[in-house]
Amino acid sequence: MNGTPPSPGATGTPPARRSLAPDLARGFMLLVIATVHAHMFRQIAGTGEGLGQVGTLDTTVTAFMTLFAESRGYPMFAALFGYGLAQIYLRRTAEGRPWPWVRSLVRRRGRWMIVIGFLHTLLLFYGDIIAVYGLIALLLAGVLHRTDRRLLATGLAWASVGVLVYATFEAGLSSTDAQQQAMEVTPLTDLVMRLAIWPVMTVLMLGISVLPFTVGVWAARRRLMEEPERHLRFLRRVALVGIVAAVVGALPQMFVMVQFWQPGPLLSIAAKWLHVVSGYAGGFGYAALIALVAVALGDRRGPIVRALAATGQRSMTCYLLQSVAWVALLMPYTMNLGAGLNDAQAVLFGAAVWAVTVVIAAVMDRFGVRGPAETFLRRMTYGPGGKAAPIPSEGRDPVPRG
């Protein structure tokens, strides 16, 4: 999932020089994604019971996930991906690299992310996001060179269509869940379903991910996550307004999910649309809040903070490890633990899987081992030797503003 490499270059940035906030944000957001995915896998591999049907605890957990987690983790990750890609652009152009060279680098990175995402889907999980970010890098590398106004206008244009299409699809999909849950899940049917869903989900997720991506690029130009102490007032406002707006905007969808409200088709689409749009605010709010936490921590890097940062530095690897756990532990054709989980237990299970990946990342960090997925992507981006082309003698490529 990590569209942001641990390095701006081929050899990597030493951990001591890395900014805490982006890594901390990715590490924490993997918890959100893990609980959401476990919740989803419980529906795929479990008993087929509807959300909020088991008891008060399950209803409460489903309400909480709808308000604070679902459609809130992906926007933040898309923004962090944009932030990281912008860092590559800014650092490379500051070195004196010409724009065509940097654009080619970004697109090559995107192509390999699409390959990784496809293999992720083929082998493990239908809800892949890596290929979506790869498509953004491949198709929209040019926005890194645009002015702020054109950059954000591009994101808004994509969202104006993408969110509506996504909301319509999701509202329609929820009406067919019962039929899908009745189908027997085998390795073959699961594989066929993953491959059939992948192009559809990739396009849908692309439509709703471009806006937070462009906001991440905009934020990187101002170093909001690298130098949060310079933007405290702005970050406080974003955190407060964003999180409150996300909760308020999720209320209609929450009532649908706990089966307190059963609207017609148009209102179902409207509730889902508002949920996704408010999710943007929530994702940005969470990022701002974590940046404020990083400021409060300062140089205090205890074992928990270091472990979370190590997880963020290896976020693609940890994201893929989560998918391995879902398939190995939850699916009916493996250990089939999903059949015995209710909604609350599924969320706790997701949190436990995330905690294991945090421990793995911390151990890797202790021994100086980089994430294998990040290492592979860097190698494929920069070539087998891990060396960039010689820097041309021309002047530095200016950073667009406006």
Give the model confidence (pLDDT) of 92-106 as tens digits: 999 999 999 999 999
Cβ proximity of 316 and 26 under 8 Å: no
C-alpha pair distances (Å), 318 with each of 24, 212, 321, 357, 390: 14, 22, 5, 6, 33
Q: Is 366 exposed, middle or buried (0-12, 13-18, 19+ CB in 10 A)?
A: exposed
Lowest-pLDDT range of 111-120, 265-274, 390-399: 390-399
Q: How many CB atoms lie within 10 A of CB 203?
A: 15
pLDDT tens-digit readout, 306-343: 999 999 999 999 999 999 999 999 988 999 888 888 88
Task: State the amino acid at position 96 in one-letter form.
Answer: G
The pTM of this model reads: 0.89
Q: What is the pLDDT of residue 43?
A: 66
Q: Kindly report the average pLDDT of the chain as a whole number.
A: 87
pLDDT tens-digit readout, 209-231: 999 999 999 999 999 999 999 99
Output helix, strand, coil percentages for the chain, rounded to the nearest 5: 75, 0, 25
Distance CA 396, CA 266 (A): 52
Q: Which residues of 231-247 are buried (b: 16+ CB within 10 A; e: fewer)?
A: beeebeebbeebbebbb
- pLDDT band, residue 54 (cuts 50/70/90): low
Q: What is the pLDDT of residue 402?
A: 44
Task: State the amino acid at position 133 in one-letter form.
Answer: Y
Which residues, 6+ apart, have CB-to-CB distance to 126 below 8 Å? 193, 194, 197, 198, 201
Distance CA 173, CA 192 (A): 18
- pLDDT band, residue 47 (cuts 50/70/90): very low
Segment 156-170 mean pLDDT: 95
Distance CA 183, CA 44 (A): 10
- pLDDT band, residue 40 (cuts 50/70/90): confident
Q: What is the pLDDT of residue 21?
A: 93
DSSP line for 68-125: HTTTTHHHHHHHHHHHHHHHHHHHHHHHT--HHHHHHHHHHHHHHHHHHHHHHHHHT-
Segment 192-199 mean pLDDT: 93
- pLDDT band, residue 399 (cuts 50/70/90): very low
Q: By three-state DSSP, how is residue 387 classified? A: coil
Cβ proximity of 116 and 62 under 8 Å: no
Phi, psi of 33 (to 5 degrees): -65, -40
* Position 367 pLDDT exceeds 90: yes
- pLDDT band, residue 41 (cuts 50/70/90): confident
Distance CA 78, CA 136 (A): 10
pLDDT tens-digit readout, 141-161: 999 999 999 999 999 999 999
Lowest-pLDDT range of 176-180, 232-236, 251-255, 303-307: 176-180
- pLDDT band, residue 6 (cuts 50/70/90): very low
